[in-house]
Structure 1
């Protein structure tokens, strides 16, 4: 169910991780060893904050229904854009049609959101969940995915004020509605959300068997571990990556995010917080 990455730190040429890494996101779109689906070819998205962006500025977007490995525009764009914070996502559609409005990430003002996973039995829950979205947000739901509805539910519950609490409330509503309809494990997924400054990455499923999620370790530590790795010179000391699966095979470079956890990335680095717990 899709693959994604989030980068934050010193401005970086986006192709460094989207195209050029050993197991780049585009490589994962063709061959995803840790994914539920090996191929993620049902469109992609790239959302970034410009290098000269100010707090509160909206991100720019490029989304397409083309397979990521076959889109020359993605190559041109990511080799031209340098950004201090960007999201990218390759999609494996699980039901909703392949159309541009269903490609991640999604945007609201200066906020971005993306999701790897699904809401099980979404067709049975869709009406109740969609009608729970604040009426002022409803017109902005342009696609048909469960992910976009989940994002707007979290916005309804106060995402822009408290992302962790709002995402928790949105997921608990999904679980409550799903179980009313006999769905044992309504929520599955890893989620990323940002306001352009901080990144929150969630790993949670109702079953407690969530899709994989990793984040990089401190770059200076990695340089000490691998002093001969020339590619590390491309990254500043504040570079942080959160990924569905590691971008290389170097031991110790990426650590798994635990189940039922949110990894928060800000100017101070990473910290983890417990996030819900299955069947609470």
Structure 2
């Protein structure tokens, strides 16, 4: 469906990952071997927390309906800023129209959210799911995607207090409504959520056959594995990236996030927790 990347660590020039990596996100937009679609050219988005802002401050976003490989503004911005936490997404539209308000990541206050996947038969369940959004949050839904509806459902169910529990409740609601409408496998996806301090990356589908998701091994370990890799000098010891597919071909640099799991990246490092929805 789509490809995405999320980074957390020392402030970094986003272009290092989004543009310059061996198999960067922009390169994945043209050639995505592990994706459901090889080409992801239906727009993109980039959201970042400025390096000079307080932790958990308001992020900035940039969205475009241009293909990521053809947008000069993306190149300018990702080389001009430095950020300790940023999210980027290239889109392959399944059904909703190609417009800026449908490009990820989505933002609410200090939160960013993005999704690779779909809510199956969304036109059948859209009304019920939309009506389940808190009325105070509903005016903030600007686009027409299932992903943005899911984000606002998670906000409704307490994302700002407990992102893991809130997304589980939101997915439970989607699966319940889907079952009422005869949808066999309502949810497919990998999801990224951040408040500017912590990054949560989820891998879950109703069917148990979720799109690919990986995160990098910690940098000190990588330096021991590849002492001659000059590119590692660009990263601090706390740098971690979560990706739809690996950014390079070096063995052992990325590990797959298991099915029904949330990877949590925070100031203490990274850890995996079971993501039990039912």
TM-score per shorter chain, which class?
over 0.9
User: How much has 1:175 moved relative to structure 2?
Assistant: 0.3
User: How much has 1:57 moved relative to structure 2?
Assistant: 1.5
Partner of 2:253: 253
User: How much has 1:129 moved relative to structure 2?
Assistant: 0.2
Partner Cα separation in structure 2 for residue 83 and residue 246 of structure 1: 21
Partner of 2:205: 205
Structure 1 residue runs of 5 or longer lacking an equivalent are none
Partner of 2:36: 36
Partner of 2:196: 196
TM-score by length of 2: 0.99
Partner Cα separation in structure 1 for residue 45 and residue 74 of structure 2: 9
Q: Quick check: 54-63 or 100-109, which moved more?
A: 54-63
SS in 2 for 1:224: helix
SS in 2 for 1:107: strand
Partner Cα separation in structure 2 for residue 137 and residue 98 of structure 1: 23
1:56-99, CA deviations, whole angstroms, 9 ceiling, x for partnerless residues?
A: 42100110000000000100111111111000000000000000
Q: Does 1:55 align with 2:55?
A: yes
User: How much has 1:178 moved relative to structure 2?
Assistant: 0.4
Q: Does 1:122 align with 2:122?
A: yes
Partner of 1:263: 263
User: How much has 1:223 moved relative to structure 2?
Assistant: 0.7
1:108-133, CA deviations, whole angstroms, 9 ceiling, x for partnerless residues?
A: 00000000000001100000000000
Partner of 1:182: 182
**Number of residue-to-residue matches in the alignment:** 278
Partner Cα separation in structure 2 for residue 120 and residue 84 of structure 1: 34
Partner of 1:79: 79
> Pairwise CA RMSD of aligned residues?
0.6
Partner of 2:172: 172
Partner Cα separation in structure 1 for residue 224 and residue 154 of structure 2: 40
Partner Cα separation in structure 2 for residue 223 and residue 105 of structure 1: 31
Partner of 1:24: 24
SS in 2 for 1:231: helix
Structure 2 residue runs of 5 or longer lacking an equivalent are none
SS in 1 for 2:222: helix
Partner Cα separation in structure 2 for residue 129 and residue 69 of structure 1: 34
SS in 2 for 1:188: strand
SS in 2 for 1:259: coil
Residues 141-180 of structure 1: pairs in structure 2 closer than 5 A: 141-180=141-180
Residues 211-250 of structure 1: pairs in structure 2 closer than 5 A: 211-250=211-250
Partner of 1:103: 103
SS in 1 for 2:40: coil
User: How much has 1:271 moved relative to structure 2?
Assistant: 0.7
Partner Cα separation in structure 2 for residue 51 and residue 182 of structure 1: 47
1:22-73, CA deviations, whole angstroms, 9 ceiling, x for partnerless residues?
A: 0000000000010000000000000000011113421001100000000001
Partner Cα separation in structure 1 for residue 66 and residue 196 of structure 2: 27
TM-score by length of 1: 0.98
Partner Cα separation in structure 1 for residue 61 and residue 126 of structure 2: 26
Structure 1 consecutive aligned stretches of length 4 or more whose deviation exceeds 6 Å: none
User: How much has 1:266 moved relative to structure 2?
Assistant: 0.3
1:199-219, CA deviations, whole angstroms, 9 ceiling, x for partnerless residues?
A: 010000000000000000010
Partner Cα separation in structure 2 for residue 276 and residue 103 of structure 1: 28
